[in-house]
Amino acid sequence: MTLTDFPAATLGVAPVVPAGLPVEVTDHEMARYIELIYERTGIRISPQKKTLLSNRVRRRLKETGARGFTDYYNHLRRLRPNDPEWEAFLQEITTHETFLFRDEGQWEWFRNEYLPGCAAGARGGSRSRQLRIWSAACSTGDEAFTAACCIADALPDAPQWHVRILGTDIGTGAVEQAGTGVFGERAMKLVPESYRRRFFRKLAGANLWQACPVLTRMVAFRQHNLLDPMRDGPFDVVFLKNVLIYFAPDSKRRAMEHVRSAIRPGGLLVSGPAEGIGEHVKEFTRLRPWLHRRPQ
């Protein structure tokens, strides 16, 4: 998650600021917003992102009728973390960029190595037909549905398995969207043609795809902040991708404590290509740069 570049800021075009609203946060206000965002999400925004942050927050000033950046800051401070305004604020300042089959090599491993290994283990009696997956910071659920596609394909007797894929995200809007199982063409760009036909239904009159029950019955979504302990689990595999890259070191450590203890002994952690979690999984076995096994 990051403050994605806002066109007006990147192109150097001055944003149109409605009369009466301040143009930019002061250094003091910036410092307070940095602290607030850090406390709530674990992300430490660079003070250099002042213009970007101002443009984003100004949209909330307009929506809420706040008189300025300090007024809105005080308003957020008074609200409970589950207030819809917090959700709207986080939506403005974070990116939910995701798509199905992102990092295809990881999904090839999951589908062609990991799942056949599980199937062989179940046939040989060395493991049960239970599979628990966590897509942490799942955004709109694309990762969770990708896991479901692979399972439906690679486990021929999938209906006999007890599969639970849990997707969680700090954003309640994101997890609500994930629960619909509806994806646009952009999110579907890497989904193989045969999977589209078998596991999705094109919605009439829209360029949208609805996941079929064979997938939706495996997945569940709920709100969860990685800075808080995880009450579900333990999981066989945790996908933790493209979220910790912008966390401050201490919040990354805290999130990783929660993630580590949610993985069952012998279970696996799949991280994003640039997650930077090496020092937090020292006791794990590194199988690939992005794949770590928790000791038994």
Ligand X SMILES: C[S@@+](CC[C@H](N)C(=O)[O-])C[C@H]1O[C@@H](n2cnc3c(N)ncnc32)[C@H](O)[C@@H]1O
Report the interface residues with ligand X, using CB under 6 A.
1, 41-42, 94-98, 102, 137-139, 142-143, 169-171, 174, 225-227, 241-243, 272
Neighbours of 177 (CB within 10 A): 18
Query: Minimum CB separation from ligand X for residue 18, in Å?
Result: 28
Residue nearest to ligand X (CB): 98
Q: What is the DSSP letter of 19?
A: T
**Packing angle between helix 84-93 and helix 69-78, nearest 10 degrees?**
130
Residue closer to ligand X (CB basis): 64 or 95: 95
Beta strands 219-223; 208-211: pairing state: unpaired
Residue closer to ligand X (CB basis): 1 or 76: 1
Sheet harboring 285-288: ordered strands across?
219-223, 162-169, 130-136, 235-240, 263-271, 291-293, 285-288
CA distance 191 to 198: 11
Residue closer to ligand X (CB basis): 41 or 51: 41
Polymer length of the chain: 296
Beta strands 208-211; 200-202: pairing state: antiparallel
Query: Minimum CB separation from ligand X for residue 135, in Å?
Result: 7
Residue closer to ligand X (CB basis): 95 or 180: 95
Query: Minimum CB separation from ligand X for residue 49, in Å?
Result: 16
Where are any strands of DSSP class E within the chain? 130-136, 162-169, 182-184, 200-202, 208-211, 219-223, 235-240, 263-271, 285-288, 291-293
Query: Minimum CB separation from ligand X for residue 57, in Å?
Result: 17
Query: Minimum CB separation from ligand X for residue 230, in Å?
Result: 10
Query: Minimum CB separation from ligand X for residue 223, in Å?
Result: 8
Residue closer to ligand X (CB basis): 122 or 169: 169
Write down the residue that tokens 């919040």 correspond to: 251
Tell me phi and psi for residue 267, to 5 degrees. -80, 175
Residue closer to ligand X (CB basis): 119 or 280: 280
Residue closer to ligand X (CB basis): 172 or 210: 172
Residue closer to ligand X (CB basis): 143 or 236: 143
CB 114 within 8 A of CB 288: no
Query: Minimum CB separation from ligand X for residue 54, in Å?
Result: 21
Query: Minimum CB separation from ligand X for residue 255, in Å?
Result: 7
Contacts by 121-126, CB closer than 8 A, 24 or more apart: 122/161
Q: Which residues on adjacent β-strands are paired with residue 281?
A: none
